[in-house]
Amino acid sequence: MKPVVLLIGKLPNVIGDVARQLDHLPIQWLGAHDQEEVKRQLDEEPRIACAIMGAGLDDRMRGEMVGIIAARRPDISIHLKDRASGPDGLVPFVQRVVQYEVLDSLEHS
C-alpha cells in the first residue's frame, strides 16, 4: 500500500495540481482546503503519514489547522511551506518533504 500524504491548501485546484505534478511518486494524495475537510480526512484515513500545508492560508487558519491535526492525530508530522518561495515553491517543497519524511523512512524500516 502506498503511504498517504494530506495536502492542505487554500484552493482545491492547487492541491490537485501538486498531486498531478508529483504523480510519479508512490504516494496516495489526499487534499483538504478547510477545517471540516481536514477533520474528515484525519478521522477517515488512519494511514496518513504526514500533513503538508501550503502558504496561501492566513496565519490564523494555519495555526488552527495545526491545532486540529495535533489534537486529533499526534502521530502525524506537520510541515508548513514558507511564503518567501511563492506559489512556484510548493511542488518542490512537497517533493522534498515526501522524499525525506515518508519515502526515505520506508526504505530504512
Model confidence over 67-87: pLDDT tens digits? 999 999 999 999 999 999 988
Instruction: Check residue 40 and give its pLDDT.
Output: 97
Query: Nine-digit cell at 57?
Result: 492560508
Instruction: Check residue 16 and give its pLDDT.
Output: 84
Q: Whole-angstrom Cα distance, residue 51 to residue 68?
A: 11
| In the predicted structure, residue 27 carries a pLDDT above the cut 80 | yes
In this prediction, residue 37 has a pLDDT band, given cuts at 50, 70 and 90, of: very high
Nearest to 48 by CA among 74, 22, 67: 74
Rounded alpha-carbon distances, angstroms, from residue 39 to 64, 66, 90: 11, 11, 23
**CATH code where residue 29 lies:** 3.40.50.2300
In this prediction, residue 11 has a pLDDT band, given cuts at 50, 70 and 90, of: confident
**Domain total of the chain:** 1
Containing structural domain, residue 50: 4-107
